[in-house]
Chains A and B, each alone.
Chain A
């Protein structure tokens, strides 16, 4: 066999699409190759998500929870004939790794928000933690903690609500503060589309904040 010449981004995307297609036919070698590539990516995203919630998870074996969630994420990727994986379109600017990583983030949020699937459902969690902070710390610190918690909740809602592409745009435009023209070039989109995304993302964050407020009011009643 001749030497394999390294692939450009486009060629790599084509190879990855072929790999995904073969894996979705349950070809063992393709599944093994996909798992080997994606497992560390999923692991990192799940571990980061659990690490953010380490205060809530005091005393739990996060390693075991992480491993279970990694498996849940892979199940989500392959279920319904791989509908989630089939939604990957590299021409929209997301690599396979990034696409799967963002799906993993969304799946973890979904698991932790679900009473049935959340492994921490029976544990004392956020409320206890905040109550202890309320009694132990100064009011300014309480405000900061509450503010951070609210922002975390908002980010989780965004992860749940947005597609991987929407999350990618949020990260590029807001978190990394990159210019619209630069993002348009990188994602093969138009500046008009990106301005529309930026506006839509801003409105969505505010809408989600209102929803959280409404839910709190209902639970207080």
Chain B
């Protein structure tokens, strides 16, 4: 074997990376805009190999993620590896029915505390990085942006979420629609300018979680409140 073997292995890995359509990874992450998804599907209709890859990279179903959560939450000392795990219908249905009954009897309680997470762009902190210091993220408008709010404990009852933007022209609801997980966690993810409906410039973004019917008006979304709220300032370029 030649001396340059590690370099050739690395080169092969680079070729592999480059051979994969970059849209596929974003498809799996649920980060393609409807327009980009339509374009990918149109391309796949003309290219059987791409069609096979699109089928492989389509986002995992929420049912599968629920099954994973169920299995990994099981209080067992050791995780057993079934040969094929994809057919667990009954336990899930039973659990869902039990949860529904519990909610009916007790009604929804107050929301727990939430932890926030932002992904995308570079953080520019001004002043001391104290908890009060607002980091401003600088990012390209076509970059991926993720905002998440995760509850400290399982949320009892339904929650809804909405994203808001505030520019010099005022505050309004953002076009991006957050996903709400059965656990009460909320995620807003996608191409920044499409999520926010802002092409460039400085914009404040607020992701708010509330009980149904209790979401704030756009102006109130940026005011201090009791409910879970994640606020971030972005400079889109």
Contacts and interface: CB of A to CB of B under 8 A. Distances in A.
A4 interface: yes
Nearest to B153: A29
A1 B123 contact: no
Given A40-B59, A71-B85, A158-B9, A4 B1 contact: no
B96 interface: no
B81 interface: yes
Interface string B1-39: 100011111101110110010001100111000000000
Given A35-B72, A67-B64, A205 B132 contact: no
Interface residues on A, range: 35 or more
Contacts of A89: none
A28 B95 CA distance: 13
Given A35-B65, A209-B1, A29 B152 contact: yes
Nearest to A70: B60
Interface stretch (B113-121, B163-171, B190-198, B212-220): B113-121
Interface in A165-221: 170-171, 174-175, 177, 201-202, 205-206, 209-210, 213
Contacts of B55: 62-63
B118 A6 contact: yes
Contact of B229 (A3, A15, A148, A209): A3
B56 A174 contact: no
B151 A29 contact: yes
Q: DSSP majority for the A interface?
A: helix
Contacts of A152: 12
B94 interface: no
A145 interface: no
A5 B132 contact: yes
Contact of A74 (B13, B52, B72, B182): B72
Nearest to B74: A26
Contacts of B67: 71
B5 A67 contact: no
A40 B30 contact: yes
Contacts of B131: 5
B9 to A, nearest CB: 5
Given A6-B135, A51-B20, A54-B52, A44 B115 contact: no
11 contacts: A4-B115, A7-B118, A26-B74, A39-B68, A50-B56, A51-B53, A67-B64, A70-B64, A154-B5, A209-B5, A213-B1
Interface of A: 1-8, 12, 15, 19, 23, 26-29, 31-37, 39-40, 43-44, 47-48, 50-52, 54, 62-64, 66-68, 70-72, 74-76, 78-81, 117, 148, 151-152, 154-155, 158, 170-171, 174-175, 177, 201-202, 205-206, 209-210, 213
Given A44-B57, A74-B72, 7 more contacts: A3-B231, A29-B185, A44-B29, A71-B85, A170-B10, A175-B10, A206-B5
Interface of B: 1, 5-10, 12-14, 16-17, 20, 24-25, 28-30, 52-53, 55-60, 64-65, 67-69, 71-75, 77-81, 83-86, 113-118, 123, 125, 129, 131-135, 137, 148-155, 181-185, 187, 206, 224-232
